[in-house]
A and B are shown apart, each in its own frame.
Chain A
């Protein structure tokens, strides 16, 4: 796990000032909460006193987190120990008395964490998409992204949309991202995909080569936006993948099927994956992903050298 990567470990609405939230990046447990200013705080979910999870504790009125075991209390920004209630004395603790802290960045409805507390903050990215959800999937992070490239229907459903196996563009590199575009059909009765001349809709997927964070753009054949979504898969404990997502349905959609997308939930991110279908899923678009990732990493390195 690269130390300097920012992972979208929570949606903004999941992090509160009432109850600590436990999340993880790989095997690293993390506790999240909001302090009195509403700022998100992130510490290792492990009290340095006796290793209990801090997420079982509580958030005090001053925004500090108190371990539920023996009451040790930590400042969220620095991770420093600020109180041991039973000592009944105002005292300063030496600097080694601290819990590990992490970099935190909140933007566009996602809370992102970097294991390196000193990493430079990423750029803010736009506005908050109104629809959102979290799904936990028993599939390893890399496999999850490969399945997204090879057959998104195993991972997500878009209201009234059928993903076809035909691609408009295979996976390629565009501005440092892995990008592909897939032809789709409406789910209503229609001429079978292998005999279809032109498809009414297309799904573009643009994926970060490291985190797998993906922007999904669904358009009709007049290039009108139908749905925009961000999927943020994060590797979790025991190789499960936690997927936080946000989406927006375009307010103006033409045609009956497109209008019907507004009835009920337009996007669902599955919690369960059909293992039998996944097993026989032919690796296709994903085959080039690793080569492209290497190429992107090499060019980033090159740029760093020049800079």
Chain B
């Protein structure tokens, strides 16, 4: 925790990543992902299709969200079940009637956890390849769960060297001529771009995508919206089809994560099996991730004297840790303002090529 006596005005200009290398590494190594609870954020709580007249229950940090639709189709979010006669608890996150701010965009129901008066639609993350009014076919959508802390799931995602080992049978192994990792950030997002030269072709593209070559050029982007715990995973493969995945990690509790994914494969030819198989790969891939993140998670629950060891390939993960910690510290000081715009179109940042 930073000194409360420090002047917030000077901190506002401080980039926690460039300021002081010693402080940076101290923050990296003090990583306590289960202690981080970020508020004043939109969380993608459910696919729009999953919310209907009958309330469904979701949670963010164990705080209940009941979601349902009014007769005219409008989504409501409340902290008590509408049939609960004894419900009179109202947290600071809901209005007098116990309702949270809620909206629909990109085919998701987004619930606001934070001060209701701060809820504003401009804080919904930009996801360039999802249609704003939703409507993707159901075979591109799905739910997977992790018994792991959400920030660990996202740290796992942003270090893609893991994919060469635990997802080798889906996306290809570590064999390639060279790889380059670049990392960009602001106070609300971190973006990692990994460029691989002559990488082993992803087996799933060989099997279902009609790729005949042995190697392919790969450019993978992971962009995390820190507060919303939501990531864009965008891959360009040549030869091969681009992969357009929205990968939220909602912290239902501090040690359980819900991932309502959307894998938009409408860029893939209708006659190509890859269009239908790739979204289903999430079921396999998520179990592979879980085999590591599940035993990992309890090992990050308590302060640990021994520092994690890092390699130059971990730049993105380390920066993610520092940015999350910084946001949490800022919120602990009572500063909930967005200093950067998360809803501005990020197509250029992620190198998204519209089909």
Contact = CB atoms under 8 A, between A and B. Distances in A.
Interface of A: 46, 48-53, 56, 67-72, 81, 84-88, 96-97
Contacts of A85: 164, 174
List the 3 closest A-B pairs by CB distance, nearest first.
A51-B299, A86-B161, A48-B309
Interface string B77-89: 0000000000000
Nearest to B299: A51
B308 A48 contact: yes
Contacts of A50: 155, 296, 308
Interface string B292-336: 100110011000001011111100000000000000000000000
B166 interface: yes
A35 to B, nearest CB: 21
13 contacts: A48-B306, A49-B311, A50-B296, A51-B308, A53-B295, A56-B295, A68-B166, A69-B166, A70-B162, A86-B164, A87-B311, A88-B178, A97-B309
A27 to B, nearest CB: 12
A56 B162 CA distance: 13
B25 interface: no
Interface string B162-176: 101110000000100
Contact of A70 (B165, B295, B299, B306): B165
A115 B64 CA distance: 45
Nearest to A49: B309
B291 interface: yes
A50 B164 CA distance: 16
A5 to B, nearest CB: 23
B313 A84 contact: yes
A52 B306 contact: no
B161 A70 contact: yes
A86 B174 contact: yes
B300 to A, nearest CB: 7
Nearest to B178: A88
B159 interface: yes
Contacts of A49: 308-311
Contact of B159 (A51, A70, A88): A70
B164 A71 contact: yes
B296 to A, nearest CB: 5
Contacts of A51: 296, 299-300, 308
A50 B309 CA distance: 8
A87 B313 contact: yes
Contacts of B179: 86, 88
A69 B165 contact: yes
A56 B296 CA distance: 12
B165 A68 contact: yes
Contacts of A56: 291-292, 295
Nearest to A100: B306
Contact of B165 (A48, A71, A87): A71
A97 B292 CA distance: 21
Interface in B266-313: 291-292, 295-296, 299-300, 306, 308-313
Nearest to A98: B309
Contacts of B311: 49, 72, 84, 86-87
A86 B313 contact: yes
Nearest to A29: B295
Contacts of A72: 311
Given A49-B309, A87-B313, A69 B162 contact: yes
A70 to B, nearest CB: 5
A86 to B, nearest CB: 5
B181 to A, nearest CB: 9
Nearest to B175: A85
Contacts of B155: 50
A72 B162 CA distance: 10
A96 B313 CA distance: 18
A241 to B, nearest CB: 22
Given A49-B310, A72-B311, A86-B174, 4 more contacts: A51-B296, A70-B161, A71-B161, A86-B313
Nearest to A99: B309
A72 B309 CA distance: 11
Contacts of B159: 70
